[in-house]
Structure 1
Amino acid sequence: MNVPDRSSAPSLLRRPRRPRRPGRAGFPRSLAAAVGALALIGTFGGAAAASTPAPGGAGSGPAASSGAVPPVVPQPVSERPGGGPAFRLTARTELVTVAGDPRTRQVADYLAGLLAPATGFHLRTADRPSAAAAPADALVLDPHGPAALGAEGYTLNASAGAVRLTAHGAEGLFRGVQTLRQLLPAAVESATVQPGPWTVPAVRIADRPRYGYRGAMLDVGRRFFPVKDVERYIDQAAAYKMNTLHLHLTEDQGWRIAIGAIPSLTAIGASTQSGWTGGTDWYYTAAQYRQIVNYARSRFMTVIPEIDGPGHTSAALASVPNLNCDDHTIAPYSGFGGANLRTYCLSDPQHIANVTAFLTTVMNTVAGMTPGPVIDAGGDEAAEATQAEYSAYVGAVAKAVGDTGKRLMGWHNLAEGPIPAGTLLQYWGDDNDRKTVGTASPSRDIQDVQQGVAKGADYIVSPADRSYLDMQYDTSTPYGLHWEGYVPVERAYDWDPTTATAKPDGTGSVIPADRIEGVEAALWSDRAYYGSNQLPTSTSQFPEQSVYADFMVYPRLPAVAEIGWSPLSTHDWDTFKLRLAAQGPRWNAAGIGYYRAPGVPWPSGS
């Protein structure tokens, strides 16, 4: 255990905000343009659910009667009772794909794997030439729905005779499967055989996402997450229709991805974590990183790797001498600060060339392992860099990323440098910034956003005081921080991307609505230990990574997921909290150690 001098940690009450950013190069901003086309086929003709039932117990079905709609998170665009008896899943149920391609059959196999542990059923899967050729009492996955559904839209029709999921491709079917699992009793999430019965209420659902980018960020730089824990996080995010995993791979406290041409980055740079030293395997080999990428792909999630700079680079500075102005490495850092530590040396032409060569090698390597279209280059909290030095970094990293054919992403601060048009920036400001919109003295964050908009950037919105999942819920939270105040689940839900950079009255948004590509929930790991209002004195204060993640993510990640997926017209805390409460028994069945947030009517025993 290496506990730094307390002077190295900023005050928990005054902690400076930290930006983080995702990227994308092919994510549609929203599917609003598809609405007109969808109207032609009558798919989304009505409002969302007219009523939301009280949450039921773990063994009960999701809807108490044929007159109620099941509680689903995120709320579908349209959800109506189907009338008539429920569909009953049995060991004889057949899982049918309709003229399916390999990815559709993978979705069928995924669904069969989800259902098997709790039901004990090993469902037979079969491919049929048409939906009409499916037998009675089948689960039907049809990837040949109308193009107006978009890549992720789907319809789900359940009756006593069958459950039919229709989409325009496998990805939409996968999103629909996440809805289907919420229509089954909560016990379906159990890892052991449960008694059932396994019923799906008669219902008609038509659904599609509001935004094309819905991200979950994981900080593995400060606290290393083994592959199995990253895969668990992927599964949890995918269950609520998130489609992007933003991996924060490098930090002051650790470099977490192997770069073959620079082995010192992991031999030295990966030897520390916040509060820990002496690690030898606290990083992902190329094979392990590809495993994460492939696992995410199997859940229809795109991985965006973040290589932060020019700040948050102590691990690199400890590993590569010529990134420092004196050409000597610094000591590896295992502390709890970060905002005011050293940056890459960019003060003279030789060191700019050194950093450029380093970034070129790193970005080429990372791009070669990342099939997704985006690489994130960070850009936040570089207070030690002058404007000229910061611009030199942005210019170098923009070229390094651009030369790989990837789209550049970064925190909104990156707009202070020479970003190319089409850069994806992640806004992490807060309500204090909003108060300065339209005034004579806008905050620096708002000025950065103004610059980014002027330079042609698009945006992911993740306000730190709403969607940063490392913020404590309240004074009783054992982990995390509260430099952005406390973020209870209602606060994590009660915001909208289109007004996140608007005046407090909701007008005058700095980011135009058509430049918003989506939202992101960010799980930082600065204080992933018990008693986090003080610096730790023992590694025994650190729980398993999944314990920390479960508690801080649930129930807030589903709240942010709904903001990204569901229509704004459905946004209502009073109904959301009822649907959220119904998730509690599911999380219990799945072994997720969530926070029982006050104000949510969790069922007794959940």
Structure 2
Amino acid sequence: MGHRLAVLLAAVSLPLAASAAPAQAAPSTVPLGNVIPAPVEVHPGGAPFRLTPRTVIEAPPAARTVADRLGEALKPATGFRLPTVGRASSRTPVIALSLGPGVKGYRLTSTRDRITIRAATAEGLFDGVQTLRQLLPAAIDARTPQKVDWAVAGGTIADYPKYAYRGAMLDEARHFHTPDEVKQYIDEIARFKVNYLHLHLADDQGWRIQIDSWPKLTQVSGGAGTGVDGVGGGFLTKADYRDLVRYAAARYVTIVPEIDMPGHVNAAQVAYPELTCDGVAPPPRTDTEVGYSSLCTSKEVTYRFAEDVIREVAALTGGPYIHIGGDEAHATAPADYLAFEQRVLPLVAKYGKIAYGWHQIAQAPAASKAVAQFWGTDDTDADLVAAVKTGTRVVMSPANQAYLDMKYTEDTPLGQDWAALIEVHDAYGWDPATRVAGVPASAVIGVEAPLWSETLRSLADIEYMAFPRLPAIAELGWSATYSWDSFRARLGSYGPRWDRQGVNFYRSPQIDWS
């Protein structure tokens, strides 16, 4: 494995970290490296820091939001006020958030009197805060005051992400999840330093985002009766969507909206029959079949539609990406598919965004400036290999390892199994840098864990399928090195935190849950 990996594992493995320096912390103190995702460097040492009613959070104005949110997160379980101040007085126990150049990611130092998190950006501080929350006892996630020794082990962590893009995806089209449910999911994924949330907003069953220039999309295909089995109707107004974008950004999560085309468009064609070649509206669909719908690529109205939707969604979206789908367009002739992508991919750039699509878009020369999301199950893809040589970048989401809607086992009550049965070890046991032969590590910008909603109905369903596999994907996206033995130990000790948060997670038999 190499000396560096061995040193890291020694630092983060629970038994080793606890026994290597017994004088550094009380027995109940969380070992310094017991964090998901695994930090790059962990150096235990020194006396622990303790939160007390006198503790304050010190932060400059640019870090005030991160500091206030930390205080809000710690108050329910501790009962402490934890005010944010510009400068703490001497002899006051302090958690100091510091902004300054020269820090890659964040650096967390814990001593008897002070915890300092230093970063070059507020996002780096936010990442450091997520680590700090995991270094406190699991009771910190309780919703009422607990009688606990709120100690943080002494030492230093230096940490930064392997990939810039660490994503999760939630399917709003097959079943609409309310803004409050999406916000809860944002909070849950941000704990693991996931920094992108891809929202699948349109498909055959329903259209879930208000488009002013095409109002029937939501009037006809966004209401009651839409969704798989006719359950799960609803849509985001523009105000709803803007609010989600703001909420996510405050947690350093960027929303990536997806409008899938030229396939997966039955809901759009129900609302606007002119998007079909014969001008006849198809019947609404509430089943789970795929590959039967296609925009009429020979009609100019198709491209007016595509441009209007891209323009309006881009105007609502603060992040850099607009996802235009492109998968399973089986009803679109290959030549027509290429012609469509050649016209539509550049429209995203026209409105100031980077085009993003499922890996089939790699067939089009215009994808050279786009991001292609690999969702295949094979380890080869000739079109993708050719595209990266022209500049296409890749996000890895192999369906047989990263799709959170796949069942854990044959007996899992939710989900599907067309790609694989995916237990926690399967979700963790692959390397994004080498997943597709011929796609070099330099072309891979990150990973994403998609969660499709054919069988989901509630936030509890989302949580059950996402956790504990999403932390596995998050670690693949963040950590410099991977170790299943280390990860499963750290994951097992995280279980009590989910219990206190009320998260409905799957208790995999592969994990020794604390």
> What range describes the TM-score normalised by the shorter chain of this pair?
over 0.9
In the other structure, the counterpart of 2:510 is 599
Residue aligned with 1:592, SS: coil
Mapped partners of 1:181, 1:263: distance in 2: 44
In the other structure, the counterpart of 2:75 is 116
In the other structure, the counterpart of 2:150 is 198
8 Å contact kept, 2:424–2:472: yes
Mapped partners of 1:170, 1:556: distance in 2: 28
Residue aligned with 2:197, SS: strand
Mapped partners of 2:254, 2:323: distance in 1: 13
**Within the alignment, does 1:460 sit opposite 2:423 as a pair?**
no
Offset of residue 62 of structure 1: 9.7
- Cα deviation code 1:288-322 (max 9, x no counterpart): 00011001100011111011011111111111121
Mapped partners of 2:422, 2:78: distance in 1: 37
**Within the alignment, does 1:179 sit opposite 2:127 as a pair?**
no
Offset of residue 92 of structure 1: 1.4
**Within the alignment, does 1:451 sit opposite 2:386 as a pair?**
yes
C-alpha spacing 1:68/1:278, structure 2 compared with 1 (3 Å)? closer
Mapped partners of 1:286, 1:596: distance in 2: 38
- Give the structure-2-normalised TM-score: 0.94
8 Å contact kept, 1:187–1:586: yes
8 Å contact kept, 2:204–2:293: no
Residue in structure 1 matching 2:260, options 308, 311, 315: 308
C-alpha spacing 1:134/1:422, structure 2 compared with 1 (3 Å)? farther
Offset of residue 269 of structure 1: 1.4
Residue in structure 2 matching 1:492, options 427, 430, 434: 427
1:506-517 residue pairs with structure 2 within 5 A?
Answer: 510-517=438-445
**Within the alignment, does 1:252 sit opposite 2:204 as a pair?**
yes
- Cα deviation code 1:398-432 (max 9, x no counterpart): 132121011100011011223242211111122xx
Residue in structure 1 matching 2:462, options 549, 563, 584: 549
Residue aligned with 1:268, SS: helix
8 Å contact kept, 2:346–2:366: no
- Identical positions, percent: 42
**Within the alignment, does 1:567 sit opposite 2:480 as a pair?**
yes
Residue aligned with 1:384, SS: coil
In the other structure, the counterpart of 1:95 is 57
**Within the alignment, does 1:160 sit opposite 2:107 as a pair?**
no
8 Å contact kept, 1:100–1:143: no
8 Å contact kept, 1:250–1:313: yes
Residue in structure 2 matching 1:526, options 454, 470, 478: 454
C-alpha spacing 1:77/1:380, structure 2 compared with 1 (3 Å)? same
Residue aligned with 1:255, SS: coil
Mapped partners of 1:559, 1:47: distance in 2: 17
C-alpha spacing 1:140/1:345, structure 2 compared with 1 (3 Å)? same
C-alpha spacing 1:278/1:115, structure 2 compared with 1 (3 Å)? closer
**Within the alignment, does 1:429 sit opposite 2:364 as a pair?**
no
Residue aligned with 2:11, SS: coil
- Cα deviation code 1:176-219 (max 9, x no counterpart): 00000001111111222222222211121010000111011111
In the other structure, the counterpart of 2:316 is 369
Letter in 1 for 2:36: V
Mapped partners of 1:410, 1:135: distance in 2: 54
Mapped partners of 2:336, 2:90: distance in 1: 64
In the other structure, the counterpart of 1:533 is none
8 Å contact kept, 1:304–1:372: yes
In the other structure, the counterpart of 1:475 is 410
Residue aligned with 1:601, SS: coil
**Within the alignment, does 1:344 sit opposite 2:344 as a pair?**
no
Mapped partners of 2:317, 2:323: distance in 1: 12
In the other structure, the counterpart of 2:39 is 76
Mapped partners of 1:63, 1:210: distance in 2: 32
Segment of structure 1 superposing worse, 270-279 or 579-588: 270-279
C-alpha RMSD of the superposition: 2.1
C-alpha spacing 1:411/1:112, structure 2 compared with 1 (3 Å)? same
Structure 1: tracts of 5 or more residues without a match: 1-43, 438-445, 503-509, 529-541
Mapped partners of 1:414, 1:147: distance in 2: 39
8 Å contact kept, 1:62–1:70: no
In the other structure, the counterpart of 2:21 is none
C-alpha spacing 1:62/1:590, structure 2 compared with 1 (3 Å)? farther
In the other structure, the counterpart of 1:137 is 93
Residue aligned with 1:482, SS: coil
Letter in 2 for 1:342: S
8 Å contact kept, 1:213–1:518: yes
Structure 2: tracts of 5 or more residues without a match: 19-23
Offset of residue 455 of structure 1: 3.2
Letter in 2 for 1:521: A
In the other structure, the counterpart of 1:582 is 493
Mapped partners of 2:25, 2:360: distance in 1: 45
Offset of residue 49 of structure 1: 4.6
Mapped partners of 1:317, 1:301: distance in 2: 32
- Cα deviation code 1:536-571 (max 9, x no counterpart): xxxxxx4xx211111111100000000000002xx1
Letter in 1 for 2:143: A
Segment of structure 1 superposing worse, 446-455 or 156-165: 446-455
- Give the structure-1-normalised TM-score: 0.80
In the other structure, the counterpart of 1:267 is 219
**Within the alignment, does 1:125 sit opposite 2:81 as a pair?**
no
Higher helix content, 1 or 2: 2
Letter in 2 for 1:419: A
Mapped partners of 1:587, 1:96: distance in 2: 28
Offset of residue 277 of structure 1: 5.5
Mapped partners of 1:134, 1:483: distance in 2: 61
8 Å contact kept, 1:214–1:243: yes
Mapped partners of 2:320, 2:309: distance in 1: 16
Residue aligned with 1:343, SS: coil
Letter in 1 for 2:436: T
Residue aligned with 1:108, SS: helix
8 Å contact kept, 1:141–1:164: yes
Residue aligned with 1:205, SS: strand
Offset of residue 521 of structure 1: 0.8
8 Å contact kept, 1:215–1:520: yes
8 Å contact kept, 2:12–2:34: no
8 Å contact kept, 2:177–2:232: no
Letter in 2 for 1:238: A
Letter in 1 for 2:315: G
In the other structure, the counterpart of 2:27 is 64
Mapped partners of 1:300, 1:220: distance in 2: 21
Residue aligned with 2:416, SS: coil
Mapped partners of 1:68, 1:192: distance in 2: 24
Residue in structure 1 matching 2:64, options 83, 102, 105: 105
8 Å contact kept, 1:100–1:142: no
Mapped partners of 1:253, 1:197: distance in 2: 52
8 Å contact kept, 1:53–1:69: no
